[in-house]
Amino acid sequence: MVNNTRKYVLTGLMTALVLCLTFFIKIPVPYTSGYIHLGDSMIYLSVMILGPVYGAFASGIGSMLADLLGGYAQYAVPTLIIKSLMAFCMGLILKSRSRKGTFVSVLTSIMVWAGFCSGAIINLQSSIRAHGKGRILESVLDPGVDTETLASMENKLNNLTLYLVLGIASTILVLSVTAWLISRKSGPDIFSMKAIIGMTAAGMCMVMGYFIVESFMYGPIPATFSIPPNLLQFFGGVLMAGLMAPALKKASLIQS
């Protein structure tokens, strides 16, 4: 009974923290009417503290409430699903006790991510061929935009596939360096490679989920422009969670 009460209290607390860091610290993203924030750091920590099920509840409800209160009601239901799935996937990886289970998780994540990137690139190129660059730029830019901005956006559109590939490579590199630095300072049991793998899988769910949703809402081109900000949000969440995890471990809040 005491353990259940403690878990309910922590679930409420983490739901509130996810809400606060998502709602109060946000940066609007052009082209999709969305925003990036630091709430993902609390999602990662909620999974470490609560496990997959309660962590998914805190992550999904807290993020959905932030969208509703912040004037992004169109994202509320997709956010509930995506953030809950993020937390649940990470929780399943953290619960895996065998090397085989971890290896399968890594392999599955790589295959899903590779499939998503390939599909996004194919979809992007086919959209450019079908609609033409001029019409696509008109759909993402305000009327009467100056020539310099138009030229800059056309250059970005031409190199969008390259940016996507570089973003993926940067993700892998930054996460590897982050994991090494944090585990060297705090010990591998506090912020383990398994935790990094779990957060990576969660980040993939977030990037893929919002890309799919925004493709239906705004079209594939604006959705593709939202991938770099979402990757940046992912980096920030991992870094902040890594800085806070040692203190939570010392307070015996993070599950072993």
Token representation of residue 129 = 């061929």
The 10s digit of each residue's pLDDT in 224-236 is: 777 778 888 888 8
**Alpha carbon distance 248, 127 (integer Å):** 47
| Cα three-residue angle 221-227-233, rounded to 5 degrees | 150
d(CA 211, CA 226): 7
Which pTM value belongs to this model? 0.81
Q: What residue segments make up the domains of the chain, in order of their start?
A: 2-250
Q: Which residue has 């085989």 as its token pair?
A: 100
HSE toward the beta carbon, residue 195, CA cutoff 13 A: 30
**Each residue's pLDDT tens digit, 47-83:** 999 999 999 999 999 999 999 999 999 999 999 999 9
